[in-house]
Amino acid sequence: MNEELVEQMPQCFEEGPKPRESKEQGEQRRRLDLLKRWEIYIHVLDRGCFVRVGCKSIAFTSIEAGYKEIGRYLENPQLVATQHGFEEHV
């Protein structure tokens, strides 16, 4: 009887097959990994703002423009970094 229990115990701890990640899920995970690399810092001024991602800063003439670009960056960090010329840091 003890032999039966020993043989059955590993079955209790087995994990089922892991679901495969879709292409969309993989892309979303990659974007999050990119976002985790850098802190985003916003410095609001009387006219506009500076947005710093890591060691790169970009000035915006309005706060709304800065926030809009931050939104774009959160959606696709690779694209926005390339457009602003700091793709080597992403």
User: Per-residue pLDDT tens for 42-58?
Assistant: 999 999 999 998 888 99
Between 2 and 27, the more confident residue is: 27
- How far apart CA 43 and CA 87 sit, in angstroms, is 22
Q: Which long-range contacts (CB under 8 A, 24 or more apart) does 37-46 make?
A: 37/90, 38/89, 40/70, 40/73, 42/66, 42/70
- How far apart CA 21 and CA 82 sit, in angstroms, is 26
pTM above 0.85, yes or no: no
HSE on the CB side for 8, CA within 13 Å? 5
Among candidates 64, 81, 78, which has minimal Cα distance to 31? 78
User: Confidence class of residue 7 from pLDDT cuts 50, 70 and 90?
Assistant: low
